[in-house]
Structure 1
Amino acid sequence: MNKMFSWVAAAVLFLLVAAPQAAEAQKFGYVDSEFIMGKMPAYAQAQQELNTLSGNWQKDIEAQKKDLDKLYRNYQAEEVVLTEPMKKKRQDEILKKEQDIKAYSNKIFGFEGQLFKKRQELTKPVQDQVFEAIEKVAKKKQLAIVFDKSGDLTMLYTNPVHDYTEFVLEELGLASEERNQPAQKGAVRTVTTPQAPGGEAATEEEPAPARTKQPTRTTPRPATRKN
């Protein structure tokens, strides 16, 4: 899956360098195949089965190594009483055991070994399903080229407006509640209101409070004495 679109990526890079106008006329997008496959239950089940098989094979190798270690320790303990032919026979047994373990390990975990073949067997149906969904989205959205963000091509910057990962997940019936958006939503930032010199919070263009007319205080006149 990682190399699914590598040849397409090389072609696009050539267009961007050699024919900028032609490249601009093409509508393109990108997806994250690893993210998509990580959302698929079938892929998770395949990975779990692979982990179980790998663990069992590793246990077999560890058991063989213990047998080898036992042969070697027995040889060391009895070496002084063994004749030269017996020593040679024991040494050959140890050497053959080492070679058998190495061959078995390569058969299981080596290049194109049983684990590699089993991984292809279990994940290929999932990869094919993802590829078919990508192809459907590309046709619906009229995309001439689709990049794989998790592939070999290093994408230094990606504009979310060209991200069609959610559309592929929707095609697979795995879409999240938040649909594909032109841009990523940033975190909500709370800006603290600056303090005014008097200690009160200042507000931007806040109208001055209306002045309340103070009631007029009437001073009582002193009583006039009658003569």
Structure 2
Amino acid sequence: MKTYLIILLTAAYFALSAAGVSAQRYAFVDMQYIMSNIPAYEAAQEQLNQLSQKWEKEIQDLYADVEQLYKKYQKESVLLSPDMKTQREEEIIQLENSAKKLQRQYFGPEGELMKRQQALIQPIQEKVSGAIKEIADRDNLDAVFDMASNAGVVYVNPRQNISDEVLEILGYSK
């Protein structure tokens, strides 16, 4: 009787677990492909690149000034009084600190570049995410993975790639 009960409970357990497992539906997108086909994203990237180059040049010019002042100081240091040496050293340090401050202001984690990037690119990313969610809801998908991030994705059947559908919903059909 005990054996019969154990067999019955084991069979019930496997039947219930098998019933609980359902086929999950998934799809893949290539975010790089999607973004590269959105003109607003390309324009935003170009604008960010131009700003970055402009700011990099500004910072490089400041560091060049620091280097020039330092070389001049080295040449003249034997002729300078101790007070003049201290004054020149402080000038050099001040200029170098202002260059570092400017670098943080432009390129730091809370810098201007990050703020501009959020302002320009985040709205586009939100639209893309909305389109992906719309397709996932429509097709009853459980998960959508990004192929561009290579997060463990080794192979994707092209049928599962919904990148073109995302672009179509956004109005950028190929």
TM-score, L = length of structure 2: 0.82
- Hey, what does 1:64 align to over in structure 2? 62
Larger C-alpha radius of gyration, 1 or 2?
1
Secondary structure at the aligned position of 1:66 is classed as helix
Structure 1 residues 20 and 87, CA gap change in structure 2 (3 angstroms): farther
Equivalent runs, 1:6-85 vs 2, <5 Å: 24-85=22-83
Question: Given residue 135 of structure 1, which amino acid in structure 2 is its aligned partner?
Answer: K
What is the Cα deviation at residue 173 of structure 1? 2.0
After the TM superposition, list the runs of 4 or more consecutive aligned residues in structure 1 that deviate by more than 4 angstroms.
19-24
User: Which among 112, 115, 127 is matched to residue 113 of structure 2?
Assistant: 115
Structure 1 residues 20 and 168, CA gap change in structure 2 (3 angstroms): farther
Deviation string, structure 1 residues 54-87 (Cα, Å, up to 9, x no partner): 1111121122122212211221221111011111
> Quick one: higher RCO (CA 8 Å, sep 6+), 1 or 2?
2
| Structure with a larger share of its residues in helix | 2
Secondary structure at the aligned position of 1:154 is classed as coil
Question: Given residue 165 of structure 2, which amino acid in structure 1 is its aligned partner?
Answer: F
Matched, 1:124 2:150: no
Matched, 1:150 2:148: yes
Question: Given residue 70 of structure 2, which amino acid in structure 1 is its aligned partner?
Answer: Y
> For residues 162 and 24 of structure 1, what CA distance do their matches in structure 2 show?
18
Equivalent runs, 1:77-226 vs 2, <5 Å: 77-151=75-149, 153-176=151-174
Task: Provide structure 1 residue ranges, at least 5 long, that are not aligned to the other structure.
Answer: 1-18, 177-227
Secondary structure at the aligned position of 1:25 is classed as coil
What is the Cα deviation at residue 152 of structure 1? 6.2
Deviation string, structure 1 residues 28-68 (Cα, Å, up to 9, x no partner): 11111121011000001101110111111112112212221
Secondary structure at the aligned position of 1:29 is classed as strand
> For residues 27 and 82 of structure 1, what CA distance do their matches in structure 2 show?
78
> For residues 130 and 56 of structure 2, what CA distance do their matches in structure 1 show?
35
Larger CA deviation: 50-59 vs 20-29: 20-29
> For residues 107 and 132 of structure 2, what CA distance do their matches in structure 1 show?
32
Structural RMSD (CA): 1.9
Larger CA deviation: 90-99 vs 38-47: 90-99
TM-score, L = length of structure 1: 0.64
Secondary structure at the aligned position of 2:110 is classed as coil
Equivalences, count: 158
Structure 1 residues 139 and 44, CA gap change in structure 2 (3 angstroms): same
Question: Given residue 35 of structure 1, which amino acid in structure 2 is its aligned partner?
Answer: Y
What is the Cα deviation at residue 20 of structure 1? 8.6
What is the Cα deviation at residue 144 of structure 1? 2.0
Task: Provide structure 2 residue ranges, at least 5 long, that are not aligned to the other structure.
Answer: 1-16
Q: Percent identity?
A: 37
Secondary structure at the aligned position of 2:171 is classed as coil
What is the Cα deviation at residue 21 of structure 1? 7.3
Structure 1 residues 20 and 84, CA gap change in structure 2 (3 angstroms): farther
